[in-house]
Amino acid sequence: MSSIPKTVDDIMRSPTRRGLPHAVDYGKASTTEYIQALDNFHQVFGIRSGDKVLMLTDPLLDPRVIQAVQGICKSRGATFTSYMGESTRYVAVPEKVRPLVEEATFVVSTWFASVFDPFCQNLRRKHGQRWVKITFFRNIDLWNTPQARFPVEIVGELIRATSRLYPENGPFDLRITDTRGTDFRVPFTDAMRQRMKKDNRWRGHNYANEDGCYVHYIATHGPNIYDPMMFGNDPDFKVGLSGKIRAQWGVGFEKPFENPPEVVFKNDHVVAVNGDGWEADVLREFLIGGTLEELGCGHNPWAPRFDIYPAGPNSPGALHFGINGLKESKYLRKMMPNWEEPHVHMDLVSFDSTVKAGNRTLIDEGYLLSLSDPQVIECAKRYGDPTELLERFPV
C-alpha cells in the first residue's frame, strides 16, 4: 500500500489547504497539459446536434465558463439559454424557472437543487434529460490544474473498481472507523446496493451522453458511498444510521479541529454533539436533529488532497459526511456568506478513515483500495506511468 498524506500535520503543511473561500493561484499549464484539459471538457459535455441546452448560473460564476458552454453549443448545432439565479443555494427550482428547465434536453447547473429536487430527478428519470453539475468548474482557469487534465477514463475505471469491492448480494453494514473513535454504521439492504450500482456515476460513466445521466465536471467528485438516492429519497424509509463521527475537519473552518467534536447518530438523526471546544458549539447549534444527506468519497488522484472547499475533498479515499441541519448555521453564514452550498449543510471531512462493506475493505486508513486494482492499473498504463497517475496525491 502506498503511503498517503492524511495527518493533521500533513494538512497544516499543505500549500493548497483550503477550508474557507479564498483566491487560489492555479499556475499555468503547458500547452500540452492545457489541451488535455480541454479534451476532457469536450468529452464530458456530450451535447448533441439539436439539443436544447439550459445553463442555470449564479452571479459569482466566471462568465467565461458560460461562454465556454455556449461555444460547444454553437459548434455542435445546439441551442443555448442561460438563466442567472440569485445564488447557487436553491434547494428547489423556483416555479418561474420550471418551464425553462422542462423545455431543455441538457442542463448545466451550479444550483444545489440539481441533485436533491424531485422535480429535477423526475426530468432525468422520466424524460431522459441530461445534467452536468459544475460545482468544481466555477473558474475557467481551472483548466490549468492537474485534476482537470487527469484522464476521465481512469476516473471511471477507478469508480467501477470501487463498486466491485462491495458485496455482490444480500444486506450488509457499511462501517466507518478511525483512530479518533469514529464508529459509524450504514445498514445496506440488497435493494439499496442494486439501485446504487445502476446509477451512471457508479458505473463509472462520467460523460453526459447517456439519457437520464447526472455527472460532475470537473470529473473529481466521486459517487457517494451512501446517499438517500439509494432508496429513492423516500422520506418514510428508515435506514437505521447509527454511531459516532469524529472528523478531522469541516468545510467552513480555517484549520482542522483541535479537539474533534463527536457527532452522534441514532435512528437516522443526529441526537448529540459531544465536546467542549468552540467547534463543538458551532456544530451543536444547528446539527441536532439533522440527517446524513451524503457520504462522499473522492476519486480523482490528482485532486489536491486537502482542498475541501466548497463541497468536500475529491482525493481518493478522502471522505465527507454531508449533514443537513434543521436550520441555517449563523457561523457558516458569517464565514461563507457566498457559499455554493445552503447554510443548513455541513461537510465533515476525514482523510484517514477505514471503510468496510460487510467483510470487504473499501478504504484502509485513507487509502482507497481500488487504486491497486489490476484493471485500474492496466487502464492507467495507456496514459502513462501508473505510479505517477495513481499514487502521486498532490497536496
pLDDT tens readout for residues 263-278: 999 999 999 999 999 9
Please name which of 314, 393, 306 lies closest in space to residue 1, comparing C-alpha atoms: 393
Evaluate if residue 249 carries a pLDDT over 70: yes
pLDDT digits (tens, 9 = 90+) for 318-327: 999 999 999 9
Evaluate if residue 1 carries a pLDDT over 70: no
How many domains are there within the chain? 2
Please give the pLDDT value at position 285: 94
> For residue 298, is it within any domain?
yes
| Pair 282, 193 in one domain | yes
Q: Answer with the one of 119, 144, 169 that is the final residue of a domain.
A: 144
Evaluate if residue 13 carries a pLDDT over 70: yes
pLDDT digits (tens, 9 = 90+) for 186-234: 999 999 999 999 999 899 999 999 999 999 999 877 789 999 999 988 8
| Pair 122, 233 in one domain | no
Question: pTM for the full model?
Answer: 0.95
**Section 295-300 average pLDDT:** 96
Q: Which domain holds residue 120?
A: 31-144
pLDDT digits (tens, 9 = 90+) for 324-337: 999 999 999 999 99
| Pair 242, 309 in one domain | yes
pLDDT digits (tens, 9 = 90+) for 93-106: 999 999 999 999 99
| Pair 139, 158 in one domain | no
Please give the pLDDT value at position 26: 87
> For residue 342, is it within any domain?
yes
| Pair 106, 190 in one domain | no
pLDDT digits (tens, 9 = 90+) for 58-111: 999 999 999 999 999 999 999 999 999 999 999 999 999 999 999 999 999 999
| Pair 126, 194 in one domain | no
| Pair 176, 87 in one domain | no
| Pair 59, 107 in one domain | yes
In order of 28, 84, 252, 350, the CA distances from 65 in angstroms are: 18, 13, 25, 31
Q: Say which CATH number the domain at 88 has.
A: 3.40.50.2300
Sheet containing 52-57: give its strands across: 79-84, 52-57, 106-109, 130-133, 214-216
> For residue 259, is it within any domain?
yes
Please give the pLDDT value at position 94: 97
| Pair 241, 341 in one domain | yes
> For residue 74, is it within any domain?
yes
Percent over 70 (pLDDT), the chain: 99
| Pair 105, 234 in one domain | no
Please give the pLDDT value at position 366: 97
Determine contact, residues 320/347, Cβ cutoff 8 Å.
yes
Please give the pLDDT value at position 220: 78
**Section 366-370 average pLDDT:** 97
Could you tell me which residues are beta bridge partners of residue 83? 56
Query: Mean pLDDT for the chain?
Result: 96
Evaluate if residue 2 carries a pLDDT over 80: no
